[in-house]
Structure 1
C-alpha cells in the first residue's frame, strides 16, 4: 500500500509508534509524530485532540490486535496444556514485535490518569473475558477443568503485565517470560 493509500489516522498512529520506539512516549511531541507521518500539525489536530488521545487510540488498536492474535493462535480442541502454550506464545510474539508500545501500555498509560482509565478497564475486561472463554473450551472441559474465574484471570494478567514490564525495561529478551507465564497459568488453571 502506498503512503497516500494509508489513512491519515493510521499514518499518525504509525508516527507515534516510530517516535515511541526512538524517543519514548514522554519525550515524543506532536511535531515528532507529524514528522514521522509526513503530515502537518493541523492534520494531526483534525484527527486527535492531543498526544494523549493519539496514544489511547494506538493502545486500543494494539491491544485489540493482541487479543485477536491470541484468540487465533489457540486451538480449542487441543489439550489444555497445549492451549496455554499457544496463548503464551502468541502473547510473547506480540510483545516481542512491539516492546516499546507494550511498555507504554503498562507504564505510561496509567500515568495519564482518568483519561486512560476507560481504555485500561476495557482492555483488562477484554483480556479477562478472553481467558475465561479460552478455559471454557473443549480441551479444558475434557480434563474436567472449570473455566478460570474472572478474578483469578485478572490476577494472572496483572502478574504477567508486571513481569513483562520488568523484562522489557531491562532490555532483555521477552521470550524469558514464557516459562514463568506457563507455570503460573498452569498453576492457576489447574488449581
Structure 2
C-alpha cells in the first residue's frame, strides 16, 4: 500500500528561501525513491510513483534529475556517504586497539542498517536491478569500506603478519556484505546487530589462529 507521502510545501506566500525550497524538494525526491523502490522494486517503480510519494510536480523532478536512474544513483551515493561518515566517527581516535575500533565500526554499521529497513533493501538488493552504472558505484563504495577496515586493523601487528592484509580486509568486507544482504532479503532487519559477535570472532581467529 502506498504511503500518503511527505507534506508538500505550503502554497502561496511563505517565508522559505528559494534554496530551502529546492533543498526540500530534492530531499523528498531522494527519500521518495528510496522508499518506493524498497516497496515495489526498482524495475516496477516509475517516476510517477516517486512524484506521488514526494508530492512534487513532474517539472520539479526534471529540474533535479534527468531520469529515474540518476535519482536512484544520487540517493544511493548520498546514503552510502552518510553511512561511511557514521562508521568512521564510530571508530574513534587512532591509538586505540584496532579490534576495539573495528567492533565499534561494525556496531554502527549494523545498527544503521537495522534502523533503516527501506534504505537497506533499496541499496543492498535493488541496486543490482539498476545495471552497470550502479554496480560500478557500489564497487567503489565497497572499496572505501575495505580501506577503512584495513586502516583500522593495520594498527595490530598480528594483522600485518598475515600473508596479504589488504586481501583479508576485502574478504571480511565481502563476507559481511553477504551476511547482511541475506538477512535484508529475508526482511529480518532486527537480526542484523546480532551479526557483530560472530563476525568479530572470525576476525580474531584470523589474527590469532591459536585462539
Q: When the two structures are superposed, what TM-score results if normalisation uses the length of structure 1?
A: 0.84
Q: Which runs of 5+ in 2 are unaligned?
A: 1-7, 10-15
Q: Residues 74 and 87 of structure 1 are in contact (CA less than 8 Å); yes or no, is this contact kept in structure 2?
A: yes
Between the two proteins, the alignment pairs up a number of residues equal to: 186
Q: Deviations over 1:61-119 (max 9, x none)?
A: 11111111111001233223322220110111111122332232232223322221331
Contact residue 83 and residue 109 of structure 2 kept, 8 A? yes
Question: Which residue is 1:96 aligned to?
Answer: 114
Residues 121-145 of structure 1, C-alpha deviations (whole Å, 9 max, x = no match): 21022111111222234xx35xx54
**Superposed counterparts of 1:1-191, under 5 Å:** 5=20, 7=23, 8-75=25-92, 76-137=94-155, 140=156, 145-146=159-160, 149-172=165-188, 173=190, 174-190=192-208
C-alpha distance 30-190 of structure 1, shift in aligned 2 (>3 A):
farther
> Are 1:34 and 1:41, in contact at CA under 8 Å, matched by a contact in 2?
yes
Query: Structure 1 residue runs of 4+, over 4 Å off?
Result: none
Which structure has the larger Rg over C-alpha atoms? Answer: 2
Q: Secondary structure at the match of 2:160?
A: coil
| Aligned-partner Cα distance in 2 for 1:185–1:47 | 43
Is 1:13–1:58's contact at 8 Å kept on the other side of the alignment? Answer: yes
- What is the TM-score normalised by the length of structure 2? 0.76
- Which piece of structure 1 moves more, 6-15 or 58-67? 6-15
CA distance 1:113–1:150, shift in 2 (3 Å):
farther
SS of equivalent to 2:125: helix
Q: What is the root-mean-square deviation in Å for CA atoms of aligned residues?
A: 2.4
Question: d(CA) in 1 for partners of 2:65 and 2:159?
Answer: 46
Whose helix fraction is larger, Structure 1's or Structure 2's? 1
Q: Any gaps of 5 or more consecutive residues in structure 1?
A: none
Equivalents in 2 of 1:84, 1:189: separation in Å?
A: 13
